[in-house]
């Protein structure tokens, strides 16, 4: 039984978030948590929180179905980052000009499933 968790409108560029998500795809959840805990990237903190949320969702799903649950059997079966809406801001520049600043957002999704699938 697989479980999913996602964070939407994360104030981080998709390119930076993908660097972190690529590290954990296909790994066991315990290994993914260790990688994210010590990764220097800023995106590792919200992705770690998302992995923990997906594990909790799997626990709830297993309880509702009356199945046995073991956290050590779970792997990150899918993890991907989609682009969210971009906030556009303007910064004043010399001689009355304005430069556009694009504040990008991300939608991050993590799916965990038992390893024996």
Q: Convert the pLDDT of each residue in 46-99 to its tens digit.
A: 999 999 999 999 999 999 999 898 989 999 999 999 999 999 999 999 999 999
In this structure, is the dihedral angle defined by the CA atoms of residues 62, 117, 108 and 70, taken in order, positive or negative? positive
Pairing of strands 98-103, 87-92: antiparallel
Query: From the CB of residue 98, how many other CB atoms can be counted at a distance below 10 Å?
Result: 10
Closest by CA to 23, choosing from 4, 43, 2, is 43
- For residue 37, the number of C-alpha atoms closer than 13 Å in the C-beta half-sphere is 7
What pTM does this model have? Answer: 0.89
């Amino acid at each position: 039984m697989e479980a999913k968790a996602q964070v939407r409108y994360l104030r981080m560029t998709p390119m930076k978030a993908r660097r972190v998500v690529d590290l954990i795809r296909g790994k066991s959840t315990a290994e993914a948590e260790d990688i994210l805990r010590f990764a220097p990237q800023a995106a590792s903190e919200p992705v770690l929180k998302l992995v923990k949320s997906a594990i909790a969702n799997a626990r709830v799903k297993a309880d509702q179905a009356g199945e046995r649950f073991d956290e050590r059997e779970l792997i990150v079966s899918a993890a991907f980052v989609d682009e969210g809406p971009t906030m556009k801001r303007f910064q004043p520049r010399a001689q009355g000009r304005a430069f556009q600043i694009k504040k990008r957002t991300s939608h991050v999704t993590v799916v965990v499933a038992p390893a024996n699938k």
